[in-house]
Amino acid sequence: MDVVVAHSDPAARRVLGGPLGEAGHSVAEADTAEEALAACRARPPEVALVQAGFQVAGRPLLDALKGDPEAYTTAVVVVGPVDLALSDVRDALHRGAHDVLIEPISPGEVIARVNAVARMKSLQEELVAQTRRLETMLHEDPLTGLFNRRYVLTRLAGLISGARRHGRPLSVAMIDVDHFKRVNDEHGHDAGDATLVATTIALRDRLRAEDELGRLGGEEFLALLPDVDRDSAAVVAESLRTSVENVRTRLDGLELGVTVSVGWATWDGEETAEQLVKRADIALLSAKRQGRNAIQGADPLSASLPRRT
């Protein structure tokens, strides 16, 4: 474990760093706050033992470490004198210190407290990583890496809110892989999965950075196209169709090609996310009736559909 010991008193640095070095840890000493910050930036240690009152340019070293983009992951233990005020202890812990050591400190206590802080830091990092993994599982389709149905529809609702607020156009495109069941039936599910992944890559390649793509389920995708009006949506839909038409998937000696049908719709300024997607879906069905490998724009919002109130 890497440890930085930052203290102005050489004797205190020996008391703190000596036992840690004997315990097999890699110890770097710093006699100024600036030197400590530089050491933590260059190679962030697991733990930094920091003298209470150390400051960098009038700012507490603890704050400088926790606010630094390189050093913020370091677990900080504040080392204070025997008369350190209780309010200062509370303040250090509130600002992000993992622990506070009060001098004089025995070698055993140094080792025990530093090890405990390192374990706490490791557990916190694992908890953060698990939380991120769970968040990813909640909104990501595991096969394609795209947004899943729930999340992409949530994103669409947010885009509609923004389009309404700023008076900007918004379109969506529903994309369906033609005769996908035939791919699974004739070549197996591995071939089907590979085809979906290849389709995803082709679609992404034709979308802008600000566009969003989700998998609604099975072989059906939804592209969200902010700031795209009706005329531009038709161009995007044709681009998506041709991008997939030109892709060939190779798997176990097979070369597979698929096409997609695309139905697109432009937000009318009042409809809900559900209504907009429904119109795109109806347009998609029309494209399929044309013989597939086709695009179709949606009719304006039907008066028979309920409007948002």
Q: Mind telling me the catalytic residues?
A: 219
Half-sphere exposure of 234 (CA within 13 A, CB side): 6
Nearest to 121 by CA among 70, 89, 74: 74
Three-state SS sequence of the chain: CEEEEECCCHHHHHHHHHHHHHCCCEEEEECCHHHHHHHHHHCCCCEEEEECCCEECCEEHHHHHHCCCCCCCCEEEEEECCCCCHHHHHHHHHCCCCEEEECCCCHHHHHHHHHHHHHHHHHHHHHHHHHHHHHHHHHECCCCCCECHHHHHHHHHHHHHHHHHHCCCEEEEEEEECCHHHHHHHHCHHHHHHHHHHHHHHHHHHCCCCCEEEEEECCEEEEEEECCCHHHHHHHHHHHHHHHHCCCEEECCEEECCCEEEEEEECCCCCCHHHHHHHHHHHHHHHHHCCCCCEEECCCCCCCCCCCC
Calpha distance 289→282 (Å, rounded): 11
